[in-house]
Amino acid sequence: MWCLFFLSNVASVCVHADKADDDLEMTMVCHRPEGLDQLEAQTNFSKRELQVLYRGFKNECPSGVVNEETFKQIYSQFFPHGDASTYAHYLFNAFDTGHSGSIKFEDFVTALSILLRGTVTEKLQWTFNLYDINRDGYINKEEMTDIVRAIYDMMGKYTYPVLKHDAPKQHVDAFFQKMDKNRDGVVTLDEFILSCQEDENIMRSLQLFENVI
Amino acid sequence: MATGVAAWLPFARAAAIGWMPVANCPMPIAPRDNSKRQDELIILNVSGRRFQTWRTTLDRYPDTLLGSSEKDFFYNEETKEYFFDRDPDAFRSILNFYRTGKLHYPRHECISAYDEELTFFGIIPEIIGDCCYEEYKDRKRENLERLQDDQEENKDMKLPNMNFRETMWRAFENPHTSTMALVFYYVTGFFIAISVITNVVETVPCGSTANQKDMPCGERYTVAFFCMDTACVMIFTVEYLLRLFAAPSRYRFMRSVMSIIDVVAILPYYIGLVMTNNEDVSGAFVTLRVFRVFRIFKFSRHSQGLRILGYTLKSCASELGFLLFSLTMAIIIFATVMFYAEKGSSSSKFTSIPASFWYTIVTMTTLGYGDMVPKTIAGKIFGSICSLSGVLVIALPVPVIVSNFSRIYHQNQRADKRRAQKKARLARIRIAKSGSANAFLQSKRNGLINELLELTGTEEDEQKLIKSTSLLESQHHHLLHCLEKTTAHEFVDEQMYEQNCLETVLQSYPSRSPSISSHDSSMGTCCGHRVKKNIPLPNASVPPAHPVPVHQGPLQELSAIHIQCSDPSSHTASRSTLNLKADDSRINCKGGRITTAIISLPTPPALTPDGDGLHGPPQRRPPPPSVSNSSTDVLQ
């Protein structure tokens, strides 16, 4: 009996140790990106640009991956007036194509490549992906309302004119008016791309960030 | 926007594409980055140690030196790097700030050196990270306190224009300022002691008279004690009134602790005078006499330690309060328990809970008088628990108070030590400075030797002497020379000045001019005593760029301008001593020379060996004439 007691203690200690090791492992996860050449081939960036991007990325996330909390923090720093966490959450999901819960440098740079150097269609596809929160191929009103509300949240409280409570809803209604061609209550990818290509403002604004890097 | 994440701005802007389809109106035009510089490495050469970083790293903080165009001032074209002549160790933390966005304070670094570096590079210290901020603030506070202590001592030096009231106040506050103050200090201390001893001795039984039993001395020698008391109270009253008169802010003085103690100390006497020997109030009168013991607190003006103790108690008020509170709680608890435990036993002394308070206090403080003892078993058990817990409860806050006291006490010790060190330090600095002043005089003589040699034409000697001064020295000397020319006066050393002084006195005695009186009054001491007067005089022994605080008594370096008349053929000679403030009206051209004096008190006379040189006959030379004789001595 005494032996059993002793052994059970030892076992529990071992289990605890393993658990501790697991915890330790999880916090120490480190990721190295693929080689520079591969990334250059996969994206539309030059080597120098990739270097610049990686240095900024690694500076902020020395472990090589960004988790959602850090992502939200970083993004919120650019919008001090309001609350950018909701939109950052959607952005994070859009960046994290593998749904792994963390963004690696490859994901980061791939998305940036699309956004900054991609074709119009690619950009619109990416944006559709962002809006389609549940990834079912359709944007419905609730998803769109969530997105628009998240965008308005970033504005904060002090705006001119004063933000009315139903402003997101009105915005969404206008959006659907424009995008939903067959009035079925959802927007598909094709409807989306078509409607956007018809709108000059959107086309022009998509080219706005060509030379960000 | 936090510039630390400036590297992620492109990402944030790219993500803005997500808003575009939602937007209803056209977007503004994006700013163009016209200076399309590729990111390049910048080399920062700090005292030889090369640091390299990307240009964009430095650009993160554009309101600092390295991030703005200010660094172009430090750019070296040949080596294509930025050179800073600063401390490379401190620079490490500054560059890390650019890299990581967090400024750290390295603990081994001196606080003022670090502050200077931060100021130089245009970084405000408030952004020091949380990890290091507390340490930084603590060190900064210590440094400030140290500086304040030094300043306070400087304040103690007598300011020239203090009226009587201010002088008196200073004398009261700091007895070491003058002899009168010291005398006053000791007299009051003596009388306080006398008063306290009188109070004590008053109650001692003094031997019995024939018909009565032992009487306290106070009742036997009433008159004597009354006189003593009166004398002391007179002194204290006078002192209080004087302090009240001299105080810069009377209202604040009256509210201060010391003045309240003073008032409480002398009030009983006056109240006793006023009140008659009425039976009703005599009891109260006796009580009042108790307040006379407060006179002993007047000693706190005399004792630094007592003041520290008082200050400690004040600063530990919260700990003391906690101690008191926890003790009270414990006392009440244990008293209640003991009362109920001892209720059963007969002839128990624990008659009520308040009566048990006494037992609890005596037990908790481990006094144990034994006048109240529990008899039941339960009482004994609880009694032992009480004494054990008493030790604990009292032992807990005491270390805090002790450590506070120790800290304050050590601070004061440090202040005293610093004061002593300061004297030694300043003495050494003085010697070094006078060394440089004398170097100037030396070089001047050498310069005159050169002139002499020029006239006589021996070139080798001239070259020898020219080589003896370095370029820096010669430039410095040239500067002082320019100053001499500007003011039309010259520098000489102390001995020469004294001699000139004496000569002037002797020569000026026959002529009746207004400034004679000042000479007469200080004939033998014209240079000695006068010189010690705290007149703010221009200090000409060091380059004018360094203002020497003139109101340091013993350190004063006077530039006393003393011009004797030279030959009538020379330029305008006005006879003046600085003591007399340049009396232009007197021109006594009985011959003499123009000399100026630098007086460093005390200058080691060994450095200026040629005081005798001036006694030679007046030289018929164009100015500057006077030191030529000494130059020949130097040659020898």
Contact A54/A75 with Cβ under 8 angstroms? no
pLDDT of residue B110: 92
A124 interaction partners in chain B (CB closer than 8 Å): 21
Using a cut of 0.90, tell me whether the model's pTM lies above it.
no
Contact B494/B608 with Cβ under 8 angstroms? yes
CA–chain centroid gap for B185, Å, is 23
Q: Does A50 touch chain B (CB under 8 A)?
A: no
CA B365/CA B388 separation, integer angstroms = 10
pLDDT digits (tens, 9 = 90+) for B220-234: 788 888 898 899 999
Q: Does B2 touch chain A (CB under 8 A)?
A: yes
In this complex, the residue of B8, B20, B22 whose CB is nearest that of residue A206 is: B20
In this complex, the residue of B13, B14, B38 whose CB is nearest that of residue A48 is: B38
Q: Which amino acid is at A197?
A: Q
Is residue B258, in this structure, part of any structural domain at all?
yes
**Measured torsion, CA atoms of residues A150, A152, A157, A158, in degrees rounded to the nearest 10:** 150
Q: Does B20 touch chain A (CB under 8 A)?
A: yes
DSSP B73: G
Contact B350/B371 with Cβ under 8 angstroms? no
Supply the CATH number for residue B83's domain: 3.30.710.10
Q: Does B56 touch chain A (CB under 8 A)?
A: yes
Average pLDDT over chain A reads: 81
Mean pLDDT of B534-562: 40
DSSP-derived 3-state class of residue A187: strand
Residue B264 scores a pLDDT above 90: no
> What is the distance between the terminal CA atoms of chain A, rounded to a whole angstrom?
71
Is residue B384, in this structure, part of any structural domain at all?
yes
Q: Does A198 touch chain B (CB under 8 A)?
A: no
pLDDT of residue B575: 43
Is residue B494, in this structure, part of any structural domain at all?
no
DSSP-derived 3-state class of residue A140: strand
Is residue B100, in this structure, part of any structural domain at all?
yes
Residue B596 scores a pLDDT above 70: no
Are residues B298 and B314 both part of a single domain?
no
Contacts across the A-B interface (CB distance below 8 Å): 102
CA B409/CA B420 separation, integer angstroms = 17
Is residue B26, in this structure, part of any structural domain at all?
no
Provide the token pair at A179.
Answer: 């995008």
- State which residue of chain B sits closest to A197, comparing Cα positions: B21
pLDDT of residue B296: 84
From the list A97, A96, A120, the residue with the least C-alpha distance to A210 is A120
User: Is B12–A78 a contact, with Cβ atoms under 8 angstroms apart?
Assistant: yes
Contact A30/A64 with Cβ under 8 angstroms? yes
Mean pLDDT of B333-345: 90
Helices (H) and strands (E) counted in chain A, each on its own, are 11, 4
Supply the CATH number for residue B424's domain: 1.10.287.70
Supply the CATH number for residue B229's domain: 1.20.120.350
Residue B150 scores a pLDDT above 80: no
DSSP of B260-312: HHHHHHHHHHHHHHHS---HHHHHHHHHHHHGGGGGGGGGGGT-HHHHHHHHH
Q: Bigger pLDDT: A81 or B487?
A: A81
User: Is B5–A108 a contact, with Cβ atoms under 8 angstroms apart?
Assistant: no
Provide the token pair at B442.
Answer: 């030396």
Q: What's the Cα-to-Cα distance from B247 to each of A80, B183, B261, rounded to whole Å?
A: 55, 19, 16
pLDDT digits (tens, 9 = 90+) for B433-445: 777 667 767 777 7
Mean pLDDT of B10-28: 78
Task: Write down the H helix ranges in B457-536.
Answer: 459-467, 471-487, 494-508, 516-521, 528-532
pLDDT of residue B560: 38
Q: Which helix (H) or strand (E) holds B45?
A: strand B41-46
DSSP B103: B
Provide the token pair at B359.
Answer: 């037992």
Our count of domains for chain B comes to: 3
Are residues B249 and B123 both part of a single domain?
no
Mutate to test the interface with A, among B22, B24, B41, B52 (most CBs of A within 10 A): B22
From the options 1.10.238.10, 3.40.50.620, 2.60.120.200, 3.30.530.20, give the CATH code of A120-212: 1.10.238.10
CA B46/CA B43 separation, integer angstroms = 9
Residue A46 scores a pLDDT above 80: yes
Average pLDDT over chain B reads: 73
A125 interaction partners in chain B (CB closer than 8 Å): none
From the list B636, B617, B603, the residue with the least C-alpha distance to B491 is B603
In this complex, the residue of B12, B26, B39 whose CB is nearest that of residue A205 is: B26
- State which residue of chain B sits closest to A175, comparing Cα positions: B22
Considering B103, B130, B157, which residue would you say is the last residue of a domain?
B157
Are residues B285 and B209 both part of a single domain?
yes
CA distance B37 to chain A (A): 11
Are residues B281 and B208 both part of a single domain?
yes
Contact B21/A126 with Cβ under 8 angstroms? no
User: Is B23–A201 a contact, with Cβ atoms under 8 angstroms apart?
Assistant: yes
Q: Does B197 touch chain A (CB under 8 A)?
A: no
Q: Which of A108-117, B149-158, B178-187, B353-362 has the lowest mean pLDDT?
A: B149-158
What is the domain extent for residue B294? 166-302
Considering B392, B409, B429, which residue would you say is the last residue of a domain?
B429
In this complex, the residue of B8, B14, B32 whose CB is nearest that of residue A74 is: B8
Q: Does A155 touch chain B (CB under 8 A)?
A: no
CA A105/CA A62 separation, integer angstroms = 11
User: Is B13–A206 a contact, with Cβ atoms under 8 angstroms apart?
Assistant: no
A91 interaction partners in chain B (CB closer than 8 Å): 15, 18
Q: Does B34 touch chain A (CB under 8 A)?
A: no
Q: What's the Cα-to-Cα distance from B484 to each of A206, B441, B541, B560, rounded to whole Å?
A: 77, 12, 11, 13
For A38-150, where are the E strands, in sequence order?
Answer: 65-67, 102-104, 139-140
Contact B232/B239 with Cβ under 8 angstroms? no
Residue B614 scores a pLDDT above 50: no
Q: Does B13 touch chain A (CB under 8 A)?
A: yes
Residue B91 scores a pLDDT above 90: yes
CA B442/CA B432 separation, integer angstroms = 15
Considering B130, B157, B184, which residue would you say is the last residue of a domain?
B157
